[in-house]
A and B are shown apart, each in its own frame.
Chain A
Amino acid sequence: MSFREKSAWITLVTVLLCFGVYFGALVTGRVSGEGFPSMHLLLACVAVLIVLQIVLNRIASATTPKDGRAPADEREVLIQNRARSFGYYVLMGCSLTLFLPVHFGHSAIQIANFALLGVVLTTLAVAGAEIIMFRRGV
């Protein structure tokens, strides 16, 4: 497995884990969606995400030293570009659906959480598309 495929897996798993905890806590009501508790949990999840990404990418780079230090080759760039292009449509879809919580009178913090969910889904879609294309060849 190439470094960039490992990196895509790391992104998929860490984002799913960290924001799964955050949104899971909000949905189940363990943390109030309004005010500081949710803000503190979000900051903690982002901090854990950053640390996990750095540590795991360093491990991935150490286990694939040749391509870990080299720039992406043309096939990897093509895969990244196609995945980001797919992510653009996911983000547009999520952005348009933001009108729904506005229409139903949700609070500003809830709408911000819906926007954050859109960003998270886009990140997962990009990482997932990259993994699929890496597995298929292109």
Chain B
Amino acid sequence: MAPGLPIANQIRRLRFDHGEMTQSDLAERIGMTRQTVAAIEAGKYSPSLEAAFRIAHVFGVGLDEVFQWVD
């Protein structure tokens, strides 16, 4: 998680679990650039609710399995 953003994510692990899906593959499936997926994964950018749902939909899991609020 990047400093300042209280949202952690499991995108790296989920990509690994889905046959080592690349950032480019995920980016293409959610209609974003690879750089944006990398920024989300690194915790540098918090995606919109719509983009978060798109990511969760690609992995076939709930939103809370992809993103977690960290106090």
Asked, given contacts A66-B28, A74-B51, whether A134 binds B35 with beta carbons under 8 Å apart, the answer is yes
* Residue contact B32 to A74, C-beta cutoff 8 Å: yes
Please tell me if B23 contacts chain A, counting CB pairs below 8 Å. Answer: no
Residues of B within 8 A of A70 (CB): 31, 33
What is B's interface to A at a CB cutoff of 8 Å? 2, 28, 31-36, 38-39, 42, 44-45, 47-48, 51
> Smallest Cβ distance from B23 to chain A, in angstroms?
12
Residues of B within 8 A of A137 (CB): 2, 38-39, 42, 44-45
CA distance A138 to B28 in the complex (A): 20
Please tell me if A53 contacts chain B, counting CB pairs below 8 Å. Answer: no
Among candidates A2, A5, A66, A75, residue contacting B45 with C-beta atoms closer than 8 Å: A75
CA distance A137 to B28 in the complex (A): 18
Asked, given contacts A74-B48, A137-B45, A138-B44, whether A2 binds B33 with beta carbons under 8 Å apart, the answer is yes
- What are 23 A-B pairs at a CB distance below 8 A? A2-B34, A5-B35, A67-B33, A70-B33, A73-B32, A73-B36, A74-B32, A74-B36, A75-B32, A75-B33, A75-B35, A75-B36, A75-B45, A75-B47, A76-B33, A134-B35, A137-B2, A137-B39, A137-B42, A137-B44, A138-B39, A138-B44, A138-B45
* Residue contact B39 to A74, C-beta cutoff 8 Å: no
> Smallest Cβ distance from B66 to chain A, in angstroms?
16
Residues of B within 8 A of A73 (CB): 31-33, 36
What is A's interface to B at a CB cutoff of 8 Å? 1-2, 5, 66-67, 70, 73-76, 134, 136-138
> Smallest Cβ distance from A8 to chain B, in angstroms?
13
CA distance A5 to B47 in the complex (A): 19
CA distance A52 to B34 in the complex (A): 27
> Smallest Cβ distance from B35 to chain A, in angstroms?
5
CA distance A40 to B60 in the complex (A): 62
CA distance A104 to B2 in the complex (A): 50
